[in-house]
Amino acid sequence: MSQFKRLFVMLGPQMRHTPALQRAAALAESSGALLDIQVFVDDVDTFGLMGDTQERERLLSDNRQWLSDEAEQLRNAGLDVSTELLLTRDPLATALQQVERLGCDLLVKDVQHEPVLKRLLVTPLDWLLLKQSPVAVHLVSDIRLPLPRQIAAAVDLDTHGTGEHLDEQVIHSARALALQCNAELHLVHVCDASRTHIADFGAGTVTMPGFEGSVRTVQRTAFNRLGDHHEIALERRHFLEGPAIRAIAQFISHGRVDVIVMGSHRHDAMQTYLGGTTAHVLEHPLCNVLAIKAQR
């Protein structure tokens, strides 16, 4: 039985069968979940077309027809599908309203890779969805197969206890997805001793001899205890070291992980350790993230 009962697929007006749509359709087919496909058309006159009423109507008509054709194909495959075309100037607010109105429990969207300069000026929509969505968010960049075959649960091992429950949620969601897709489940943690040192003692403190080794030992012990508790095979445990974003990016590049499940705190995703890492990891071109929301 799937953990997700109703999937919300957020598409742009490109009129193509995107990786996110392929993934969502495969997940719905494997679980019997409902599939809500919505195309978002920006009401801002970005391309200079909206001033021309005829061009505007043609754009909307073409998208409606494409959406209707896609839905018919999916229904013919046995899926329960609803569709809608939305003209909006605020895609974030509109998407969140639709998710709540429909009672969806997973939002699926293609990753939108933004230039670095643009990210400095405007917070990307994907990052905002990670922060503000009340439900889990699956952001899809590229897929080898419609259903994932290797799924990694990335845990924080928060020694202060605030992230312990979120780690459990991440592992639970990753395991449920792996069972649904008949995929391998992996466990991942990044040990960044320098970050722990700064967080605990302040950037101006001189590191004491042996400090990094002690941090590494404590975290590896906690990581193995967690792996033992959830009965994850040793060869599927990955204890990484170094800056989190770089370490996870290298792990994705060198491995064949299809989805990495990470935690995302609802109200402070850009400031928390895994929350911020989740947003930045999206910039890796092969990364597909399932962000699990922290429960209150």
**Using an 8 Å Cβ cutoff, are 31 and 131 in contact?**
no
Residues 62 and 201 in one domain: no
The reply to whether 140 falls in a domain is no
The reply to whether 116 falls in a domain is no
Residue 96: closest CA among 152, 171, 34, 40: 40
Residues 86 and 32 in one domain: yes
In one-letter notation, the amino acid at residue 43 is: D
The reply to whether 281 falls in a domain is yes
pLDDT at 70: 96
Residues 98 and 160 in one domain: no
The tens digit of pLDDT for each residue in 72-82 reads 999 999 999 99
| CA 294, 292, 33, 187 torsion-angle sign | negative
- List own/partner pairs for 52-56 with CB under 8 A and 24 or more apart: none
Residues 178 and 273 in one domain: yes
The tens digit of pLDDT for each residue in 180-218 reads 999 999 999 999 876 654 334 344 444 444 556 788 899
The reply to whether 69 falls in a domain is yes
What is the pairing mode between strands 237-241 and 259-264? Answer: unpaired
The reply to whether 124 falls in a domain is no
Note the pTM of the prediction, 2 decimals. 0.86
**Which CATH number characterizes residue 243's domain?**
3.40.50.620
Residues 292 and 161 in one domain: yes
pLDDT at 52: 67
List the domain range (segments joined by +) for residue 42: 1-110
The reply to whether 291 falls in a domain is yes
Residues 159 and 280 in one domain: yes
Residues 281 and 152 in one domain: yes
Name the domain boundary from 93, 110, 127. 110
What is the pairing mode between strands 81-88 and 150-154? Answer: unpaired
pLDDT at 73: 96
How many domains does the structure of the chain reveal? 2
